[in-house]
Amino acid sequence: MTPPAWWRTDPTEPFVLGPRVMPGRIWTASGCFGYGLSAHDVTAPGGRTPYTGLGAVVTKTVTPTPRGGNPMPRLAELPTGALNSIGLENVGLDAFLADTLPELERRGVPTVVSLAATQPQEFGSMCQRLAAVAAGFDHWHGVELNLSCPNVAEGGHDFGSDPVTVAACVAAARPHLPDRALLAKITPNVARIAPLALAAQEAGVDAVSAINTVVGLEVDLTTGRPVLPRRFGGYSGPGILPIALAKVDELVSSGVTTVGVGGISTGDDALRFFALGVVSVQVGTALMRDPMAAAGIAAELTPAVR
Amino acid sequence: MHHEPQRPAGVCCTGRVTANAAVSTGLIRLDLELEMPAEFLPGQFAMLNPQPGSAAFVFNRPFSIYGIDGQAVSFLYRIVGRGTAAMGELVGEDRVGFMGPLGRPFPVREDDRPALLLGGGVGLPPVAAWLERWGRDGDLACFGARDGGDAPWQLLDARWGVSVDEVAGVPENRTAFHGRVTALGADRVAGVKGPGLVLACGPVPLLKAARDLARDIAWECWLSLEEHMGCGYGVCKGCVVPVRVDGPDDRTWRNATCCDEGPVFAAADIAWERYALPSVPEPGPGTMEAKP
């Protein structure tokens, strides 16, 4: 690609986000790169690795206790994206703190930990435990509160779509993270996204990550029934790029510090978000096809490599 | 007790098509020359993208590795969907996205126990690669095809017994067992001094029959599962298989990621009562079935 004249930022240079200096502006999105350890032995021509130039790996979302996730099938490939219904399968906070996070630290992987819970106060207790275990970790840079996963139906409603609840989650987490970045990932499945983001910002996040997946459904024409056992899933990939850009534009225009996510698979896609004023971007579904996708975008947008 | 070998490091690159030709009425062999050398252990697989650099496919497609020699790698596939249809269009010099080797391999040969190898259709590569790497006199290799035309005869030397569901198309100079490949395996293994190893790859009915055969003759059994996958390297959790657990709590099973914790599993580890169950959603009020 030939980068446009207005682009003068080196996305692999550190930048300040709240109380933290983040190592770079190209991140992996939660749920799309596991816990950040699955590709540690992968190399590409020229000795490149999936971690070259990354600003952060946002981990797969961790919940207070382990979750087994949803029944198969969990994925459907569509012409312009993917529909998933994984169900927040994860190892749980105990195993994550005992095994995964220390391994990420040992390997020097810049890490943002994604957390989910079903009650606002749980975010506080999870962050408290995280901060106690990882206080001395150099490569743990922050927390992203997953306030928008549409797959988990506990309680029968999406509690991340209510500004008051969003603020309560952030307020519970913030006091435990005085020297780490705090982000909230919010749902796009609302008419206006800015009120949610402003509630999060006023309650103390350093940035809002937007967007998470868009609710979708695919029908199997051979059976006449939805492909996914839970009918609905989260739609991601290139097809949601314009939706993400519109939501991000609404946020930035409202004065929200924003991390852009949604449909990024090339350097040009990332630049579209930077043009709107985001501080960093996350690469998601593209990593499922290519573990080098985020590192490739970082290289593409780094001036010395152009 | 099986000792899992160290898995070779994965590479992420493209491969140049050097051959892409039918080896039977339904099976196609794809040969690639990779940009960089790779290694593999039998039972491992790679994720392929027939149109790298384009957005045509959101996910790559998983294929068991048939063989790797330096930068030369080969696969067998059958056209079953959009991805394999695109692979069928590949011609010499086209480039294919490659990520591999991936996943848990079959056990390495560690003792003198005989092996019964069972492969069905595109399940041939993992067991054929194991036979090539570690096979010895006394091992029994069986391949199952739909009919005589579907068997890739030139890939199956004298070590292989071949079974066919339909006898049509069996070459005059070859013989085939009329029936399931597991029935052929049971036939050939009778009288063999065991216990030994059963290694199998193929569709679920074949895997279940292999499990039952191994149980009946008290041989250790390892199965390579064919699952739809998203990422292929353990990050998306889209290809889980229920496996038994003996935990301190009441749980008797958990979801294992097929691409990373498998695709090879000990038959005894799979929670069969939960595996490959139909999980189709109930029809909604708007479906045709609900209408009078």
The string of pLDDT tens digits covering residues B5-60 is: 899 999 999 999 999 999 999 999 999 999 999 999 999 999 999 999 888 999 99
Per-residue pLDDT tens for B66-78? 999 999 999 999 9
Q: Which residue of A has its CA nearest to B46?
A: A289
- Structural domain contains residue A282: yes
d(CA A146, CA A123): 10
| Neighboring chain A residues of B233 at a CB cutoff of 8 Å | 38-39, 42, 291
**Predicted local confidence at residue B164, as pLDDT:** 96
Min Cα–Cα distance to chain A from B170, Å: 34
Min Cα–Cα distance to chain A from B31, Å: 20
- Structural domain contains residue A226: no
In this prediction the pTM is 0.94
Task: Write out residues 35-94 of B within 8 Å (CB-CB) of A.
Answer: 35-36, 49, 55, 57-60
State yes or no: cis peptide before B285, omega within 30 of 0. Answer: no
- Rounded to an integer, the average pLDDT of B84-101 is 97
H/E stretch holding A77 reads: strand A75-78
Q: Mutation target for B interface from A74, A223, A232, A297: give the one with most B CBs within 10 A.
A: A74
Inter-helix orientation angle B181-189/B204-217, to 10°: 20
H/E stretch holding A173 reads: helix A163-173
Is A169 part of the annotated catalytic residue set?
no
| Beta carbons of A34 and B235 less than 8 Å apart | yes
The answer to whether residue B284 scores a pLDDT higher than 80 is: no
Cross-strand bridge partners of residue A260? A210, A281
- Structural domain contains residue A232: no
d(CA A82, CA A64): 27
d(CA B199, CA B207): 9
d(CA A181, CA A70): 31
**Predicted local confidence at residue B283, as pLDDT:** 53
Which tokens belong to A250? 């609404």
For residue B166, report the phi and psi dihedrals to the nearest 5 degrees.
Answer: -125, 140
- Rounded to an integer, the average pLDDT of B155-170 is 95
Residue A288 DSSP class: H
Length of chain A: 306
Residue A228 DSSP class: S
**Predicted local confidence at residue A302, as pLDDT:** 87
Q: Which residue of B has its CA nearest to A74?
A: B238
**Predicted local confidence at residue A168, as pLDDT:** 95
d(CA B103, CA A22): 33
- Structural domain contains residue A25: yes
- Structural domain contains residue A5: no
Inter-helix orientation angle A241-253/A267-276, to 10°: 20
The answer to whether residue B287 scores a pLDDT higher than 70 is: no
**Predicted local confidence at residue B52, as pLDDT:** 94
The answer to whether residue B4 scores a pLDDT higher than 90 is: no
- Structural domain contains residue A62: yes
The answer to whether residue B277 scores a pLDDT higher than 80 is: no
**Predicted local confidence at residue B292, as pLDDT:** 36
**Predicted local confidence at residue B220, as pLDDT:** 97
Spatial neighbors of B137 by CB under 8 A, at least 6 apart, are none
Q: How many other CB atoms sit within 10 Å of the CB of residue B136?
A: 10
Residue with tokens 């390495």: B108
Which tokens belong to B262? 């498998």
Spatial neighbors of A156 by CB under 8 A, at least 6 apart, are none
The domain segmentation of chain B, as residue ranges, is 11-102, 115-274
Which ipTM value was assigned to this complex?
Answer: 0.93
The answer to whether residue B251 scores a pLDDT higher than 90 is: no
- Structural domain contains residue A3: no
**Residue A172 is part of which domain span?**
15-69+88-214+237-305
**Predicted local confidence at residue A292, as pLDDT:** 95
**Predicted local confidence at residue A160, as pLDDT:** 83
**Predicted local confidence at residue B275, as pLDDT:** 87
| Beta carbons of B59 and A288 less than 8 Å apart | yes
Among candidate residues B255, B288, B248, B285, the one with its CA nearest the CA of residue B270 = B255
- Structural domain contains residue A99: yes
| Beta carbons of A74 and B240 less than 8 Å apart | yes
Please tell me if the domain spanning B11-102 has the same topology as the one spanning B115-274.
no
The CATH number of whichever domain residue A52 belongs to comes to 3.20.20.70
Segments of chain A with pLDDT less than 50: 151-156, 305-306
Q: Are A301 and A295 in contact (CB under 8 A)?
A: no
CATH 3.40.830.10 at B115-274, yes or no: no
A10-19, A190-199, B146-155, B242-251, range with the lowest pLDDT: B242-251
Q: Are strands A140-146 and A181-185 parallel, antiparallel or unpaired?
A: parallel
**Predicted local confidence at residue A115, as pLDDT:** 97
A291 touches chain B (CB under 8 A): yes
- Rounded to an integer, the average pLDDT of B202-211 is 95
Return the HEC string of chain B. Answer: CCCCCCCCCCEEEEEEEEEEEECCCCCEEEEEEECCCCCCCCCCEEEEECCCCCCCCCCCEEEECCEEECCEEEEEECCCCHHHHHHHCCCCCCEEEEEEEECECCCCCCCCCCEEEEEEHHHHHHHHHHHHHHCCCCCEEEEEEEEHHHCCHHHCCCCEEEEEEECCCCCCCCCCEECCHHHHHHHHHCCCCCCCEEEEECCHHHHHHHHHHHHHHCCEEEEECCCCCCCCCCCCCCCEEEEECCCCCCCCEEEEEHHHHCEEEEHHHECHHHCCCCCCCCCCCCCHHHCC
Length of chain B: 292
d(CA B89, CA B114): 41
**Predicted local confidence at residue A303, as pLDDT:** 76
| Neighboring chain B residues of A70 at a CB cutoff of 8 Å | none
Residue with tokens 């292989």: B160
| Beta carbons of B228 and A73 less than 8 Å apart | yes
**Predicted local confidence at residue B291, as pLDDT:** 38
CATH 3.10.180.10 at B11-102, yes or no: no
Confidence of residue B247 (pLDDT cuts 50, 70, 90): confident
Total structural domains within chain A: 1
Q: Are B187 and B176 in contact (CB under 8 A)?
A: no
